[in-house]
Each structure stands twice: as C-alpha cells, then as structure tokens.
Amino acid sequence: MSRCDFKIVLLGSEHVGKTSLVLRFVNCRFNSGTPYQNTIGAAFCAKQMQSNDKVFNVGIWDTAGSERYEAMTRMYYRGAHAAIICYEPSSQASWTRLRHWLQELRTVEEDCKVYLCGTKKDLIDDGFVQREVPEDIIATYSQGLSGHYLTSSKTGENVDELFQKIVDDCAADLRVMKDVEEARLHLQKEENAKNNKNYCYC
C-alpha cells in the first residue's frame, strides 16, 4: 500500500486491549492464548475501507501504553486525522489515565477527531468483571468528542462499526479530504516523475 489517506492512532494504558482491537479489525481474529506483550513505540498496519463509494487506505498506529515509552509515542500523533483512546470500563485507573492521553494528543494534534473506546465488553456482559466507570460519567465526558463505542475484540462487537464511523467522518470532512486529494496528487506526480526517469529511449 503506497499511501495512507487517513491516519488513525490508538492511545491508552497498558493492558486495555489496543493491539487486540487492531488485530480484530484488520485480521478478523482474536488470539486468546497469546501471552501479553508490550508494544514498543508503535506498531503499524493498514486496511482498505469504503465510504460513499470511495476507497480509502487507512493507516493505523497502535502506540505503546507504557509510561516509559511516552516520549517515543508522541511522535506518532503528528498528522493523525483521528484517535481512538481506549479504556476498560472495569478499570477506574484506565479511565483516569484516559484524560492524560487526550491532553497529550491535543498538544500535538489539536484538530484530531477523538473517539473513546471501552474495551473487553464481553467480560462485563458475561459477568467476569464489574463495571467501575459509571455510564453517565462516560456519556458526559464524550459529549465534546466525536464518538464513544463499547467493543469486544473477542466477539468483534462494535469493532467494525467504530472504524467505519471514523472513516465516514473523515470522508465527510472537507478539510481532511482537501489534504487527502493534495497528498494523492503529490504522490501521482512523484510516480510519474519516477516512471519518466526510468524510461529508456534507446
């Protein structure tokens, strides 16, 4: 994939399930038996998506949640069109930390669209964990943001819906689309120049 039209970054504390969310979305799978591993810096993946009959290449940066990697992960915020900030509804600590991630993001990319994502919904639904973050507090906090979804990477619930909402919002944003068209035009000019340079007139 030679370009990314929309850049999405995932933020959130350790263990909230950011990597599982990305793997469910991109590869439609959930590895329940895989031991937990810290993301260092950021992991990148991409996927083609559609909105209003247009095809877009979506780049996703899964950033590290560990505090010791914070200085490194900030560099991945720049140029992001959208951010997903993840938390666990069963963890008050992850919700408290969420505010920090939003502040960090805003200092680098002020106009970035922000979506809250409550992860591991299946654990609450099945009664394995208890909710610690009240729904009314989440609803109030997310009012000034672009959206809020409760997801399950295990079952896939609301995962595709979250990413589709982001792509639809970006595709409907005239400012974002202006940047996309300019980037596509620039890339096309570069490819044309490269092809002309490599052409042999012998």
pLDDT beneath 70, residues of the chain: 1-2, 32-42, 64-73, 197-202
Q: Residue 51's pLDDT is what? A: 96
**62-78 pLDDT, tens digit each:** 986 555 455 556 788 89
Helix, strand and coil content of the chain, in percent to the nearest 5, comes to 45, 20, 35
What φ, ψ does residue 176 adopt, rounded to 5°?
-65, -45
Q: Residue 1's pLDDT is what? A: 44
Tell me the whole-structure pTM to 2 decimals.
0.87
**Three-state DSSP string of 3-14:** CCCEEEEEEECC
